[in-house]
Chains A and B, each alone.
Chain A
Amino acid sequence: MIGVLITTHGNLGNELIKAAELIKGPLSDILHISVDQSRNVEDIKKEIGNAIKKLDKGKGVLVLTDLFGGTPSNISLSFMKEQKVEVVTGVNLPMLLKLSEVKESMTLREFACFIKEHGQKNIYVASELLSKKALG
């Protein structure tokens, strides 16, 4: 199983997990680390490093983070050196709901791409969708 770590500004990630569990039931192999402004970057780095170690059961860890270029993302990217970590930014609820569908055969990279595509595909402008339906 590929582990999943969510790193976000404030408590966003934790709330996303709560919302996903409300819909899907308990999620396994998932942790959240909150990055807030009262904390030292080195401490957060250590905490993220420990979480990655804990989550890695041999197939690596997918890090989902909120904003590309933000501190949670910047720190997460610094762990990509080890090849056992993949980072996907712009985390949203549809992505979290899809996590449990990871197939045993997927590599970390494939899993990351699968989650990214799912997250992107699930953003709609409702009126565009409606007009398409009406025309179709």
Chain B
Amino acid sequence: MAQDLNIELVRVDNRLVHGQILESWVPYVKAQCIIVVDDNIAGNVFDETVIRMAVPSEIDLIINTVEDFAHNYNFSHNKGKNTIVLFRSIRDVCKAYELGFHFDKLNIGNIHHEEFKVCCSPSVFLCDTEIEDIIRLLENDGVVVELKRVPRERAVNIREALKGYCNLSP
């Protein structure tokens, strides 16, 4: 059963649902639905329960694997419930993109990679493959990538942040 969803925010955040989402982004985009896309959490009763408890009951919560998510919904820009889509990693969001979940803008909130090569902001540490994936989104797919923890913060320019690492056209 396909459901129309008005995608207001696509975000990579390794904390998934947490304070910044519930207290800042939900009111900012007037979210009526949150989708957590994560292969480890989908189907894990305990982890799903913890997230369900945290999300206010008036907001729909969908927890899906990357594949199920990409195949099961109709994504629109002005039809259906205002929706926040959360991924734990750049890899997962790119996989969803490849499977047909297309978006114009990607928000990056918190990523802490152990073997990071570039620290773009106090909450974003990227490794080589993550940077390659981001460059592909930027250059090949024309996605706008925005580094911003909360809506009322000034975004870090990703091209600027990666300047020392590689050359990107402005």
**Docked CA distance A39–B122 (Å):** 9
**Docked CA distance A74–B48 (Å):** 11
Q: Which of B19, B47, B55, B110 contacts A67 (CB 8 A)?
A: B19
Q: Which of B9-32 contact A (CB under 8 A)?
A: 14-15, 17-19, 22-23
Contact B19 A70 (CB under 8 A): yes
Q: How far is the CB of B147 from chain A (nearest CB, A)?
A: 12
- Size class of the contact patch on chain B: 20 to 34
Q: How far is the CB of A127 from chain B (nearest CB, A)?
A: 28
Interface on chain B toward A: helix, strand, loop, or mixed SS?
Answer: mixed
B98 within 8 A of A: no
Q: How far is the CB of A71 from chain B (nearest CB, A)?
A: 4
Q: Which of A37, A40, A68, A81 contacts B54 (CB 8 A)?
A: A68
Q: How far is the CB of B117 from chain A (nearest CB, A)?
A: 15
Q: Which residues of A contact B64 (CB under 8 A)?
A: none
Contact B149 A37 (CB under 8 A): yes
Q: Which of B14, B18, B47, B110 contacts A69 (CB 8 A)?
A: B18
Q: Which of A9, A38, A68 contacts B123 (CB 8 A)?
A: A38
**Docked CA distance A70–B50 (Å):** 11
**Docked CA distance A81–B50 (Å):** 11
Q: Which residues of B contact A81 (CB under 8 A)?
A: 46
Q: Which residues of A contact B112 (CB under 8 A)?
A: 38-41
Q: Which residues of A contact B18 (CB under 8 A)?
A: 69-71, 74
B58 within 8 A of A: no
Q: Which residues of B contact A73 (CB under 8 A)?
A: 54
**Docked CA distance A37–B51 (Å):** 19
Q: How far is the CB of B1 from chain A (nearest CB, A)?
A: 28
User: In this complex, which of A40, A68, A69 has the most chain B Cβ atoms within 10 angstroms of its Cβ?
Assistant: A69
Contact A69 B123 (CB under 8 A): no
**Docked CA distance A71–B110 (Å):** 12
Contact B122 A37 (CB under 8 A): yes
Chain A, 53-74, contact with B by CB distance < 8 Å: what is the 0/1 string?
0000000000000011111011
Q: Which residues of B contact A1 (CB under 8 A)?
A: none
Contact A71 B19 (CB under 8 A): yes
Q: Which residues of A contact B46 (CB under 8 A)?
A: 78, 81
Residue of B nearest to A38 (CB): B122
**Docked CA distance A74–B19 (Å):** 10
Residue of A nearest to B114 (CB): A40
Which B residues contact A (CB, under 8 angstroms)? 14-15, 17-19, 22-23, 46-47, 50-51, 53-55, 110, 112, 114, 122-123, 149
22 examples of A-B residue contacts, CB within 8 angstroms:
A37-B122, A37-B149, A38-B112, A38-B123, A39-B112, A40-B14, A41-B112, A67-B19, A68-B54, A69-B17, A69-B19, A69-B22, A70-B22, A71-B18, A74-B15, A74-B18, A74-B50, A74-B51, A77-B50, A78-B47, A78-B50, A81-B46
